[in-house]
Amino acid sequence: MSKKKELVSKIGLRLDGRRADELRRVRCKMGVFSQPDGSAYIEQGLTKVLAAVYGPHQVRGNRSKAQHDSAIVNCQFSMAVFSTSERKKRPRGDRKSSEMSIHLRQALLAAIKVELYPWSQIDIYVEVLHADGGVYPACVNAATLALIDAGIPLKEYVCACSASLANNDIPMVDISHQEEMLGGPTLTIAALPMSEKIVLMEMSQRFHIDHLPKVMAKALKGCKDIKVILDEAVRSHVEDVGCSTGWSNTSQKIKV
């Protein structure tokens, strides 16, 4: 049990060279597919996730599920066989992925204005291409981008981020797989960063109450940082799309 590996070295660097409060590199792209109504691809470090949104459309299958005052949100989480270092068949309905689906749904429901679409349904599909820690946050972030791409009204961005405690003292943000394996408990939160509302919080193990506030603050800070990055991506995407359809006034961009 004495896994006392230092996750933050004396010089203040983590194993991969980040500082405690730095996110991994985030790269994202919206509108990657033409078939769905909205789609997005996100890379957080080496964790790579694809998300696709269909809808809102008529309720398919069992019509009786349809609700008169809101849309049904349906989430589907899955992992590619090649997403981890060990190749493994991952059936769609297994416990882990259905749990993930439920968690995703809970986070996204908090932001989607479902009351605008009675008798209809929104489907969100998330596929993990590579898992390297922080899978759930990446999924939430990708799903948010895809929802925006699909033009579904949101109250605000939903962003998620993980945080943990290094050396039993220093809170650190955006936990990689390596750090998950070596370190202690990991806290994952999904939040509405502008209003600072936490919509989902999950811990891999118990935290001592003394540590919890600072780790939570760190994770929330991470969410806000991610929001800035996503926001930038959305704006530049809209500009790009706008240029090509001609209603944007980004004349400089066209020159380039």
Partner 1 sequence: MFSTRAFIKKNKVGNYLKNIREHYIRDDIFCGLESCKSCEVLDTSLTGGFNNKNNLFKFNHYIILDTNIILDQIDILEEDVFGNVIILHTVLKEVKHRSLPVYKRLMSIIENPTRHFYIFTNDHHKDTYINQEKGELINDFNDRCIRKACTWYMKHMPNEKFVLITDDRGNRNTARNEKIKTCTITDYVKNLENSKHLQDKLARKDFHTVVDSDDFYPPHLPTVDIIQGIKDGSLHQGTFRASTSNFLEASVNVDEFEEPVIVQGRAGLNRAVDGDFVAIKILSKDEWISPSDIILEDESVTEGVDEVLEKEKVLKKTQKKANAQPTGMVVGIVRRKWRQYCGILQPSNMDGLFHLFVPADRKIPKVRIETRQAEFLRTQKIIVAIDTWPRHSRYPTGHFVRALGKIGDQATENEVVLLEHDVPHSKFSEEVLSFLPKLPWTIKEGDIAARVDLRGLDICSVDPPGCTDIDDALHCREIEDDKLEVGVHIADVSHFIRPGNALDIEASNRATTVYLVNNRIDMVPVLLSSNLCSLRGGEERFAFSCVWIMDKEANILETRFHKSIIKSKKAMTYEEAQMVIDDKHQVHSIAQSLRNLNSLAKILKRGRLDKGALVLASPEVKILMDSETHDPISVEAKKLFETNSMVEEFMLLANISVAQKILKEFPECALLRRHPTPPPNNFDPLVKAGNHLGFAIKIDSGKNLAASLDEAIREDNPFLNTMLRILATRCMMQAVYFSSGMYQKDEYFHYGLAVPLYTHFTSPIRRYADIIVHRLLAVAIGADCTYPDLLDKHKSTDLCKNLNYRNRMAQYAGRASVAFNTHLFFRGKLQDEEGYVLFVKKNALQILIPKYGLECTLYISEEGKTSPFTYDEDHQTQTAGDIVLHAFDPVIVRLTLDSKNIQHEKFILQLVKPHIEGFSIAPLTEMETKHKLTEIESGKKNKKQKKS
Binding residues for partner 1 (CB under 8 A): 1-2, 10-11, 13, 15-18, 22, 24-25, 45-46, 85-86, 132, 168, 176, 178, 208, 210-211
Closest CB to partner 1 among 22 and 202? 22
* Structure token digits, residue 140: 């939430």
Closest CB to partner 1 among 4 and 255? 4
Closest CB to partner 1 among 67 and 178? 178
Smallest separation (angstroms) from partner 1 to the CB of 22? 7
User: CA 217 → CA 28, 89, 92, distances in Å?
Assistant: 25, 37, 34
Closest CB to partner 1 among 85 and 244? 85
Smallest separation (angstroms) from partner 1 to the CB of 176? 7
Smallest separation (angstroms) from partner 1 to the CB of 205? 11
Residue type for position 141? N
3-state class percentages of the chain: helix first, strand second, coil last, to nearest 5: 30, 30, 40
Smallest separation (angstroms) from partner 1 to the CB of 84? 9
Smallest separation (angstroms) from partner 1 to the CB of 6? 9
In 3D space, the residue among 64, 103, 84, 121 whose CA is nearest the CA of residue 189 turns out to be 103
Closest CB to partner 1 among 178 and 250? 178
Beta strands in the chain (DSSP E): 26-30, 38-44, 47-58, 72-79, 120-130, 159-166, 170-173, 186-192, 197-203
